[in-house]
Amino acid sequence: MNLQEILDVVDGEMLVEPLYNVDLERACASDLMSDVLLFTKPSMLLVTGLTNPQAVRTADMAEAPALLFVRGKYPPKETLALAQEMGIAVMLSPYTMFETAGLLYEAGLQGLGKLPIIKQR
Amino acid sequence: MKSRFALLSLMGKSGALTKIHELVREMPVSRVMTTSPATLSPDDSMQDFQALLRKLRISGAPVVEDEKLVGIISIEDLIHAMETGELSHAVREYMTTGDLIVARAQEPVMEALRRFERTGVGRMPVLNPREKLVGIITRGDITEALLHALQELYAEAEEIQSQPQHFFEALESESTNLLLRYHVEKDDFARGGDASAKIKQALLRIGASPKLARRVAIATYEAEINLIIHTDSGGFILADIQPDEINIVAQDSGPGIPDVELARQPGYSTATSEIREKGFGAGMGLVNIDRCSDEMSMWSAVGVGTRLQMKFDVSPEEARIK
């Protein structure tokens, strides 16, 4: 799914344009950056409510070419500047995380599939 | 010096034959021919033809009248004219006419090559679909195009062979390593990930595969965030890059972890809600490091500090750019 299709589905806004034509195969929606890094896969869209620069760092480490911030929360300028520098596209969805994810999933964007269970204390 | 045969065998692997095959079968004559060739009018004299041959060092030319090909004149025809002492006579009297052997601009080079073989001619005028003369093709043009393609394939094969099998391949020593050191400030969330991003960049630059660079970067990033969140006064990250392994150390001088085993449990965290709001502190960092690295060890003493060591094996495939 390309970025324009994603924007159309969530009625979103492009904040940082991609460096090249991005085609995403799957998305991961989380506010926990370690969780994102634990299960990262190539060509992944990172959907998150976390708008600080660490979201961009995480996308960079995870090689996610695009970020989608949710619930209309406009990110601070440091975040946008870092995204620009790192060449990561940034978009904004006016829907909550749940609804954004639901709309994208319904439109055919895949998730990460079934993950191993990690017992926590 | 590299053996040409080794290069050839390599080219075989990279599909050299396929490429030459493609060239001959699919490349149109128009790509190989000489465009706007010298032409003569049927009314030019054989002397004019002789001057043209001398000037352009060619051995024949198409004869054109009203933009239409009407004949071909060659060096044999000139010899014939010389023998009879009729150099002042018109080209029209000596040129070959009738069923001329021509090539089509759009046909594959392979077809032209077959026609050369079958007819034994040295050159063929090239016509476009509207029967206009657009060029001339010789066997030499085809050979030149093939040699050019071969040269490109050689260059490609040589490049493949010169790619490093491991880091620092060109450097000779008993042991080679590259040390990268970064200081990480406590609470410096804004710059968090800077060191990891730089290590990742360095690895990619010296030829690591993206996969290797990614797992080193993710593990280092988690360690870097730990230094920012949990230390008294920050710490440092040291990356030791060797031909077959990468060791990363994240070290601080306190406060130290009372129970290292407990800290390694998934989901265990001492992070404040403020840290959690920033997207970290969910107790998965060390789990992540463990997963990304080939070996991980942690030493800690309260009041002294913590030392986290991560080792990454570099397989030959991972050390090479894909």
Instruction: Decide if pLDDT at B168 tops 80.
Output: no
Instruction: Decide if pLDDT at A24 tops 60.
Output: yes
- Do B133 and B186 lie in one domain? The reply is no
What's the confidence (pLDDT) of residue B150? 79
Mean pLDDT of the region B177-187: 94
What's the confidence (pLDDT) of residue B18? 66
Instruction: Decide if pLDDT at B169 tops 90.
Output: no
- Do B33 and B102 lie in one domain? The reply is yes
The answer to whether position B169 is within a domain reads: no
The domain tally of chain B equals 2
Instruction: Decide if pLDDT at B13 tops 60.
Output: no
CB-neighbour burial class of residue B112 (10 A; exposed 0-12, middle 13-18, buried 19+) = buried
- Contact (CB<8Å) B278/A60: no
Cα–Cα distance, A64 to A86 (Å, whole number): 11
- Contact (CB<8Å) B278/A32: no
Q: Does B204 touch chain A (CB under 8 A)?
A: no
- Do B21 and B156 lie in one domain? The reply is yes
Mean pLDDT of the region B126-152: 86
pLDDT tens, position by position, B219-274: 999 999 999 999 999 999 999 999 889 999 999 998 999 999 999 999 999 999 98
Instruction: Decide if pLDDT at B186 tops 80.
Output: yes
Mean pLDDT of the region B98-105: 90
- Contact (CB<8Å) B267/A120: yes
Is there a contact between A51 and A73 (Cβ–Cβ < 8 Å)? yes
Planar angle of CA A12, A13, A19, nearest 5 degrees: 120
Q: Does B196 touch chain A (CB under 8 A)?
A: yes
Cα–Cα distance, A51 to B312 (Å, whole number): 31
Q: Does A58 touch chain B (CB under 8 A)?
A: yes
Q: Does B200 touch chain A (CB under 8 A)?
A: yes
What's the confidence (pLDDT) of residue B163? 62
Pick the residue of A28, A38, A47, A61 with the most B CBs within 10 A to test the interface with B by mutation: A61
Q: Which CATH fold topology does A3-106 show? A: 3.40.1390
Cα–Cα distance, B238 to A37 (Å, whole number): 21
Of residues A69 and B142, more confidence is placed in: A69
Nearest chain B alpha carbon to A57? B193
- Do B24 and B98 lie in one domain? The reply is yes
CB-neighbour burial class of residue B322 (10 A; exposed 0-12, middle 13-18, buried 19+) = exposed
Residues of A in contact with B265 (CB under 8 A): 120-121
Instruction: Decide if pLDDT at B7 tops 80.
Output: no
Cα–Cα distance, B281 to B25 (Å, whole number): 62
- Contact (CB<8Å) B190/A78: yes
Percent of chain B with pLDDT over 70: 89
Q: Per the omega criterion (within 30 degrees of 0), is the bond before B255 cis?
A: yes
Instruction: Decide if pLDDT at B5 tops 50.
Output: no
Instruction: Sort strands B68-74 and B60-65 into parallel, antiparallel or unpaired.
Output: antiparallel
Radius of gyration of chain B (CA): 36
Cα–Cα distance, B240 to B246 (Å, whole number): 6
What's the confidence (pLDDT) of residue B190? 85
The answer to whether position B44 is within a domain reads: yes
Q: Does B75 touch chain A (CB under 8 A)?
A: no
Average pLDDT, chain A: 92
Cα–Cα distance, B163 to B161 (Å, whole number): 6
The answer to whether position B165 is within a domain reads: no
- Do B135 and B187 lie in one domain? The reply is no
Q: Hey, which residues does B301 pair with through a beta bridge?
A: B305
pLDDT tens, position by position, B260-281: 999 999 999 999 998 998 899 8
The answer to whether position B321 is within a domain reads: no
What's the confidence (pLDDT) of residue B174? 85
- Contact (CB<8Å) A120/B285: no
Domain residues for the domain of B153 are 4-160
We report the CATH number of the domain holding residue B145 as 3.10.580.10
What's the confidence (pLDDT) of residue B16? 58
- Contact (CB<8Å) A52/B189: yes
Q: Would you list the domain boundaries of chain A? A: 3-106
Average pLDDT, chain B: 86
Instruction: Sort strands B123-127 and B103-104 into parallel, antiparallel or unpaired.
Output: parallel
Q: Does A21 touch chain B (CB under 8 A)?
A: no
Of residues B129 and A59, more confidence is placed in: A59
